[in-house]
Amino acid sequence: MELRDARPGAAIELPQGLYALDALTHCRATALDWRVFELAAEETEPVPLEGPDTIRPAVPILALIGDQLYEVALTEVEALPDDAELTVEHMIYRLRHHGEARGERSGRNGHTDFWLGPYRHYEREGHVLIFMDVHGEIQCLTGKAMDPRLVRVY
């Protein structure tokens, strides 16, 4: 199965381990289409960690933006940026698309949420930034490109 066809509840295998697709957000705009795959660790039997590895690694979040796969992080910010260029951690991102996007988020619990809000899409070589208003809260998706051959969907 292709990642773009995955639905909540599907199993997703990454080099870090096996995860369940907990929630899927699909956003559509005139110039851009993106999906965010929120994963949850498969909890078959909890294994206590001992020694220096007592902190479990963060569960990855994947995004398919156009045809490019990214490992991303989602944060909340105060406002949508207005600039044509942004500097984040000494890297310059350039505005690629902006406008209004329709969003749909569905989870394993069967609940689906819809919204319409402004977005701004920035890029630099191998990296992406997307800001979107989701019910009055501004989410920032930041990510680094990854090889899609590292992902298997069941």
* 29: confidence class by pLDDT, cuts 50, 70, 90: very high
Percent of the chain past pLDDT 70, that is, above it, reads 90
* Exposure letters 55-92 (e unless 16+ CB within 10 A, then b): eeeeebbbbbbeeebbbbeeeeeeeebeeeebeeeeee
**Angle of CA points 95, 101, 104, to nearest 5°:** 130
Q: 132 pairs with which residues across the strands?
A: 119, 139
Q: Backbone phi, then psi, for 132, in 5-degree steps?
A: -150, 140
Asked if pLDDT for residue 154 goes beyond 50, the answer is: yes
Range of the domain at 91: 3-153
Q: Are 71 and 144 in contact (CB under 8 A)?
A: yes
Domains held by the chain: number? 1
Tens digit of each residue's pLDDT (9 = 90 or more) over 93-117: 999 999 999 999 999 988 999 999 9
Nearest to 23 by CA among 147, 142, 111, 139: 111
The answer for 15, left when phi > 0, alpha when psi is -120 to 50, beta otherwise, is alpha
pTM to 2 decimal places: 0.88
Asked if pLDDT for residue 52 goes beyond 80, the answer is: no
